[in-house]
Structure 1
Amino acid sequence: MATTNLFFSLTIIVLILSLSVSAADWNILLNQRKTRYGLQITLKNYCESWRMNVELHNIRDFDIVPEECVEYIGKYMTSTQYKVDSERTIDECTVYLSTSCGFKKDGSDAWIFDIDDTLLSTVPYYKKNGFGGKKSNSTALEEWMRQGKAPALEPSLRLFNQLKGLGVKIILVSSRKECLRSATVDNLVNAGYHGWTSLTLRGADDENKDVEKFKADVRKQLISGGYRIWGILGDQWSSIEGLPSAKRTFKLPNPLYYVA
């Protein structure tokens, strides 16, 4: 009888400890297991909601992906769904080009592209560095960029070539530092991007600016120079917000990091 009671007690202790460990993987909201409206939620529900609210720009200025969602975000960024979401964004750009753009074809029609996770993918880097679950290490990221091995985002490459075929001037504006110019150009060319009009990176005078202001200032200079900016494609809100803007802006999905 004593042996049975001891076994039963140990079983209860193990069960309690296991529940405590699993609960530690959930934040305070998830520990309640219900929303304020009584809906049952799962970890997948929570992480999908977190990702969606990043894209909606309700969640801002985050340093890292929540620990409990790192695995989910990693699966998303390497999934068919991420590719489909990106493809849909480019499809909407194509619809806009075919229905709403009255290009004058006088050399002043322009389109702006961001680079990282817009033209070139940093997913291979983040795959080896925790899928956003670790605080960004700019030194390590820049060293990876210098290797020039980032693959093209194929839907973006298709749009790039479509615009080039229409005679639209392609302007590249990136928050990468000027010291990465050579590696960036080589990477773009090797990934299939040819024939852009200009490439603007952050010089020493720009590094103290917010990315949003830096990119807005570049657009101001372009417009002052006579360009008509028909569209912007980027993966961060800082690439498309701020004035002056374009006639239309399009955002690709990216829950890995936030650039203000």
Structure 2
Amino acid sequence: MILRLFCIMLILFSLAGCVSGKSRSAIKPGAMISLPQAKNDIIDYHESGEYYKDVNVLAKSIARRVKAAINGKVRYPAVVMSVEDVLLSTYNARRKQGFSDNSAARKDLYSHIILSRLPAIEPSVALFEFLLSRNVPVFIISHRGEAVRIPVMENLSKAGFSGWKSLYMMPPNYPADLNYNEEVRRGLQKLGFNIIATVGAVPDDVAGEFTGKAVLYPNYIYSSRK
């Protein structure tokens, strides 16, 4: 299921021009499907419950890793989690815009963020509560800027996420050649925390060092953040 949907999203991006890039590979004729079918398959994946089953499997794998760290008496264990499509879902907002990434779609998504309207991803709520019950601090990273810190905090609270250790927002004019997520993890490591797992929705979220168990939630709505 995951591999099939990954292929579907590659087709969707190629046909709709949702994601920019220096070059695009040709799609083999046998793999070609229609754009409406690709969108329908994404919707079916989410609304059939398969998406949540896959996320639940990943969330439980993180819980097992944390249990093992605690039983192994790892000092100062911690977990790092991204906001969008890890804790809060952008699916409804993106579906409304046909999963496109044009300026209108980005503005609409931003309005959901400003109004703190993004719903929780339920398996992440259960994982979050488990971590807090074991006194494992959760550090949250958002790729959004400081201008939306308060709405993001309110959204997290409304969705059932409270008690996290710190929320890191993207600094202004951050160098393009640095991975902010990795730099945050590097700082936590220097403070003495042992990161047991890092949970993201796009590869940059879990790229680089100090990830512990690197976990990518299934995400077929976009391949990179803008």
Is the TM value for this pair above 0.5? yes
- 1:252 maps to 217
Quote the Cα distance in structure 2 between the aligned partners of 1:109 and 1:100. Answer: 7
- 1:231 maps to 197
Residues 146 and 169 in structure 2, CA contact (< 8 A), matched pair in contact too: yes
Gaps of 5+ in 2: 12-16, 21-33
Q: Which has the larger radius of gyration?
A: 1
Q: CA deviation at 1:152?
A: 0.8
Q: Residues 30-49 of structure 1 correspond to what in structure 2 (within 5 A)?
A: 48=5
TM-score, normalization by structure 1: 0.70
- 1:110 maps to 78
- 1:63 maps to 19
Q: CA deviation at 1:120?
A: 0.6
- 2:64 maps to 95
- 1:158-208 CA-partner distances (Å, limit 9, x unpaired): 1111111111111001101111100000000011111011000112132x4
Percent identical residues: 24
- SS in structure 2 of the partner of residue 216 of structure 1: helix
Gaps of 5+ in 1: 1-43, 55-60
- SS in structure 2 of the partner of residue 75 of structure 1: helix
Quote the Cα distance in structure 1 between the aligned partners of 2:45 and 2:135. Answer: 35
Q: Say if 2:16 is the partner of 1:50.
A: no
Aligned residues: 204
Q: Say if 2:100 is the partner of 1:144.
A: no
TM-score, normalization by structure 2: 0.80
Give the AA of the match of 1:253. P
- 1:185-235 CA-partner distances (Å, limit 9, x unpaired): 0000011111011000112132x426x711111111111122111111111
Give the AA of the match of 1:89. L
- SS in structure 2 of the partner of residue 152 of structure 1: coil
Residues 18 and 100 in structure 2, CA contact (< 8 A), matched pair in contact too: no
Residues 198 and 215 in structure 2, CA contact (< 8 A), matched pair in contact too: yes
Q: CA deviation at 1:104?
A: 4.5
Give the counterpart of 1:218 among 176, 184, 187.
184
Q: CA deviation at 1:48?
A: 3.8
- Give the aligned CA root-mean-square deviation in angstroms: 2.8
